[in-house]
Amino acid sequence: MPVSSVSDFEHFAEKVKKQISTKVRRVEVETSDYLLAKENEAEHKINSWTKHAHFEWDQERYAQEQRSHNSIEEEVNRKWSEFKKERKSALRSALKIRLYQIFPTLAECFISQISQKYQTGTLTMPEAYMSFVTKEGFLLHMCEKEQIIFTSGNLYIEYSVERIIEELTDEIDSRMHFKEDTWQV
């Protein structure tokens, strides 16, 4: 068997060291590349999850804002409707009181108009208004209610505060203009 020299052994050891060193560097590069790839993958997943979570949060926030906005709008509309209803009711009540106060004058005007327009007919009214009929040809009937009813053939006309209010309801509603915090008629 041939005898090996120390230099052959050292040369062999050096060769093995280089092979091991190359293999270690290759494993280190592969490990570094693998680690970098895993870090990039994890960062991508974190970014993707964060974007998704942010998107979901934005969607939920928007939905909550819409629900809140709708709720507030409904409440404002409800309150505004109540306010308008109260104002209309207050106006009708005030008008009704005022009409009752001036009804004798209105009754006199109504009777005068009927007397000018018609030659005959029947008037049903309180006794206090009978003196307003100055023309012959009208039958007079007394009633207790604060109203005047004129009939002539198929014609029937009722004149009372309730009837005036009823006739004016659409007019009142159409003439009430609500702007900001004030209302006007």
Q: What is the mean pLDDT of residues 72-81?
A: 88
Distance, in Å, from the CA atom of 124 to the CA atom of 134, rounded to the nearest integer, reads: 15
Does residue 121 lie in a domain region? yes
Does residue 60 lie in a domain region? no
Return the pLDDT at 141: 92
Does residue 40 lie in a domain region? no
Domain that holds residue 77: 70-179
Tell me, what CATH number does 122's domain have?
3.30.2320
Enter the pTM of the model: 0.57
Return the pLDDT at 124: 93
Does residue 129 lie in a domain region? yes
Kindly tell me if the per-residue pLDDT of 179 is higher than 80.
no
Return the pLDDT at 156: 93
pLDDT tens, residue by residue, 78-107: 888 898 888 888 888 998 999 999 999 999
Cβ atoms of 123 and 148 within 8 Å: the answer is: yes
What total of structural domains would you count in the chain? 1
